[in-house]
Amino acid sequence: MNNQEDQNTQDFPLFIEGGFIAIKQGDEDAAKKLFSAAQSLRPDNTAPMIGFGHIALNKNEIATASSYFQKVLKLEPENAVAKVLLGFCLLFPKLGLKKRKDVKLEPQEMDQMAAGGKKLIEEGIKSTEDPIVLNLGKSTLELLDKVAKYQSTPMKN
């Protein structure tokens, strides 16, 4: 390996980490640039796709985020991060986190999406030891349970 390849190997995780820090600080432009730089260094790596999906998810662009996470899962079917995040996207309508007037989902469709999302999250939790992924997955499932309990009460209207 030459010096440039060695430097690229060292820079890749820094670009990914920097991208997520930029997201956390609300700097979408910087995050996109950092994930794009990482993607140019390792075009076959799925981490930049997860980053772009995370950006979309933060903007409530659920279809776009879902698309990124689905692409990751096509390349890496056991990717726990993509499973949990795609599962979260599928739960959005059921959790009432996003109301779209242009898309009308029947209750049965929301239930099917939620079941698929819950299954993905459970699979992701089982296949990882990453505390961040575990926490996101578990807290999402807890929220789903709370919403389900609330929706079964007369107070839901």
**Residue 148 pLDDT grade (very low, low, confident, very high; cuts 50, 70, 90):** confident
Among residues 107, 62, 59, the alpha carbon closest in space to that of 86 is found at 62
Domain spans, the chain:
79-156
pLDDT tens for residues 111-147? Answer: 888 899 999 999 999 999 999 999 999 998 998 888 7
pTM of the full structure: 0.83
**End-to-end Cα, the chain, rounded Å:** 63
Pairwise CA distance, residues 84 & 17, whole Å: 19
Residue 22, both tokens: 């930029």
Q: What pLDDT is attached to residue 2?
A: 55
Residue 34, both tokens: 């950092």
Q: Comparing 85 with 108, which gets the higher pLDDT?
A: 85
